[in-house]
């Protein structure tokens, strides 16, 4: 968070995403900030991570420059797409939440999302169940539950 406060780099770049992951998890995992090399049940083929990540960032930049989506929808789409790529072996959920909030604050000048809503999103609880169900709906191209989840007081 201190690093984020100091950092003035472009948020919507793969460099920034990698640096943030390294800063978040570098003390815990020596591979923090390095892309996944093996398949998981979530995420694209590891071979496709660099290109997919670049495509996401380019699209997200385009969305902000052309006001393609309202800020909350851009954040929901960005978060979901990033966890769907699943660039790293672990920490993707937590990383993608902070990426989306940083985009909101620094690219859109908007307030971050209250993702956890007073719960611990890492633990099993109703909020987590709603969150995962919303991501699965987004996998099936239905963004409505994730939008509800992102909205202030939404999903509760
Ligand atoms: N069906 C799904 N589609 C897209 N993303 C999903 C799906 N199921 C789970 N996820 C995302 O993947 C994350 C789990 O991946 P990973 O373990 O890399 O991240 P994490 O930050 O360690 O999260 P967690 O603490 O939940 O384990 C979830 O928190 C969620 O954001
Ligand atoms: Mg995990």
Ligand 1 near 94 CB (within 6 A): yes
Render pLDDT for 78-108 as a digit per residue (tens, 0 to 9): 999 999 999 999 999 999 999 999 999 999 9
Cα–Cα distance between 96 and 83 in angstroms, integer? 6
Predicted local distance difference test score (pLDDT) of residue 151 = 86
Predicted local distance difference test score (pLDDT) of residue 153 = 63
> 2-113 adopts what CATH topology?
Fic-like fold (1.10.3290)
Is residue 127's pLDDT more than 60?
Answer: yes
Cα–Cα distance between 79 and 99 in angstroms, integer? 7
Atom of ligand 1 nearest to the CA of 79: 31
Going by alpha carbons, the residue nearest to atom 20 of ligand 1 is 91
Cα 90 to middle of ligand 2, angstroms: 5
């Amino acid at each position: 968070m201190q690093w984020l406060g100091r950092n003035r780099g472009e948020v919507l770049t793969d460099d920034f995403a990698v640096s943030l992951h390294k800063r978040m998890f570098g003390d815990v995992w020596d591979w923090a900030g390095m892309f996944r090399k093996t398949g998981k049940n979530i995420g694209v083929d590891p071979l496709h991570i660099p290109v997919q990540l670049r495509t996401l960032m380019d699209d997200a930049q385009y969305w902000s420059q052309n006001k393609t989506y309202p800020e909350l929808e851009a954040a929901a789409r960005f978060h979901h797409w990033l966890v769907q790529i699943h660039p790293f072996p672990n920490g993707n959920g937590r990383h993608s939440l902070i990426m989306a909030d940083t985009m909101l604050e620094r690219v859109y000048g908007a307030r971050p999302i209250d993702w956890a809503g007073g719960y611990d999103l890492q633990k099993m609880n109703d909020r987590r169940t709603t969150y995962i169900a919303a991501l699965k709906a987004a996998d099936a191209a239905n963004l409505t539950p994730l939008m509800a989840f992102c909205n202030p007081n939404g999903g509760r």
